[in-house]
Structure 1
Amino acid sequence: MARDADGYPVTRSAAGVVRAARSTRELPVLDEWISGCRACPRLVTWREEVARVKRASFRSEEYWGRPVPGLGPANSRIAVVGLAPAAHGGNRTGRVFTGDRSGDWIFAALWRAGLANQPTSVHKDDGLQLTDVRVCAAVRCAPPANAPTPEERDTCSPWLARELSLLPRLRVVVVLGGFGWTALWPVLGAAGYELPRPRPAFGHGVEVALAGPRGTLTLLGSYHVSQQNTFTGRLTEPMLDAVLARARQLAAAGG
């Protein structure tokens, strides 16, 4: 197994991602594999350039500059799936949805829902702990213009598939935005869930129950916590709170 200078195992191709994901049996090991991934050349170049050039306000900080693994315990009944790390958020701090405005929104909402011990996520050592929820992304590297290609999405999907499979109590997936909604269908189909035809269109508050190998899994759609949505009022705190309250209700009913 090849490892990089920081000791992370390295994958350099889509086939390598598939092999590494399939062979992993524990979340901490999966997080290490994700952190060393170099399978998408465009994303590797971009994330490392951002980490080298930096934003002026973060000039004194050392950027993570790697793929960003998920966050949350393995016994979680709820997963939250976003799009991808922000260039100066997760790509800087090394923690999903951390250090940017989107993170301010999602972690404050998780705190209000009783799923986080504090409403902020600033850096890796700020004391944040999640309860009953795992937060992750469809694509693990910060993409140029916040827009991964379909090929990059598909190359990254085995990481998401394995992550969800390593949550044995998973009952609900809250999907932030249409990109994650589209990315999730092949992941769940490959995991043995019965997918509806035609696929339900994404929308805020859309709820879809899927029968599968571990019982019913419910997908809940929510507008993404991007500034484009939160600054314009397309997504409000009560709207996001209602989705998370429904997620908790469904998770509790599922045991």
Structure 2
Amino acid sequence: MPPPSPLPATEPPHDCPRCPRLVAFREELRDAFPDWWNAPVPAFGDPDAWLAIVGLAPGKQGANRTGRPFTGDYAGDLLYATLAKFGLSEGQYQARADDGVTLNGAIIVNAVRCLPPQNKPTPEEIRTCRPFLEAPIAALPGTRIFIALGQIAHQSAVKALGGRLPKARFGHLAEHRLPGGRVLIDSYHCSRYNTNTGRLTAAMFEAVFARAFEVKAALGAAQ
């Protein structure tokens, strides 16, 4: 079982019925893999986080299997290694939801909570799930810096944060000032495909987190 959500009041129900295609896929996987999580994946991390990481959706062999964001697939290997390097996690990541890893100052939440076929949610599914991104954002008033992993996460985060997409175009290390004094920093998604093709390197990914710390320092100095 994954650790309990740090923001339980913001989570979708275990059998969320909102997206028929995703429900059908969930039921198919529950039949095929009854020991897997196979449900909306809750947020994970620190309820007093200063940094929120917005992912796309659970991976089939990752969070959909384990129940914890970015746990059990390659994207999680890179993400959790980076979190550890920057002091945002404690414990040794072992790609299991029960490995005891905790986050300090950071929280992870997906733009789409259920596994989509081929890892491609439809625009309607993204819109339908947005309340489950808006709710944790509203429950994190002290969180001022956000990292979006990939273009879909970027688009959903901009909308959930009250921004406008024409004024906030996605790009790796692009930085967007949004309502409420919040800042969104973009990254290419830490997927195996992006790293295998060289679109994203570990150094490029770490640069996003380094920038988040710089923005945090600047915001603190401005207060």
Specify which of 123, 133, 153 is matched with residue 96 of structure 2.
123
Counterpart-to-counterpart distance in 2, 1:223 and 1:110: 16
Match of 1:254, as an amino acid?
L
Counterpart-to-counterpart distance in 1, 2:94 and 2:141: 26
Match of 1:147, as an amino acid?
K
Tell me if 1:159 matches 2:124: no
**Cα shift readout 1:187-235 (whole Å, capped 9, x = no counterpart):** 122xxxxx357322211010111232xxx11110100011110111111
| Identity percentage of aligned residues | 43
| Aligned ranges 1:98-177 → 2 under 5 Å | 98-118=71-91, 120-177=93-150
Shift of 1:253: 3.5
Determine the structure 1 residue equivalent to 2:167.
Answer: 199
Tell me if 1:49 matches 2:28: yes
| Aligned ranges 1:1-255 → 2 under 5 Å | 27-31=7-11, 33-54=12-33, 62-118=35-91, 120-189=93-162, 195=163, 198-212=166-180, 216-255=181-220
Change (3 A) 1:118 1:238: farther
Provide runs of 4+ in structure 1 moved above 6 Å.
none
For the 8 Å contact 1:34–1:159, the answer to whether it is kept is no
**Cα shift readout 1:108-141 (whole Å, capped 9, x = no counterpart):** 1111111011452522211010010110110000
For the 8 Å contact 2:49–2:105, the answer to whether it is kept is yes
SS of the residue corresponding to residue 224 of structure 1 reads coil
Supply the RMSD in Å over aligned alpha carbons: 1.7
Unaligned runs of 5+ in 2: 1-5
TM-score, normalisation: structure 1: 0.79
Counterpart-to-counterpart distance in 2, 1:82 and 1:104: 14
Unaligned runs of 5+ in 1: 1-25, 55-60, 190-194
SS of the residue corresponding to residue 81 of structure 2 reads helix
For the 8 Å contact 2:176–2:185, the answer to whether it is kept is yes
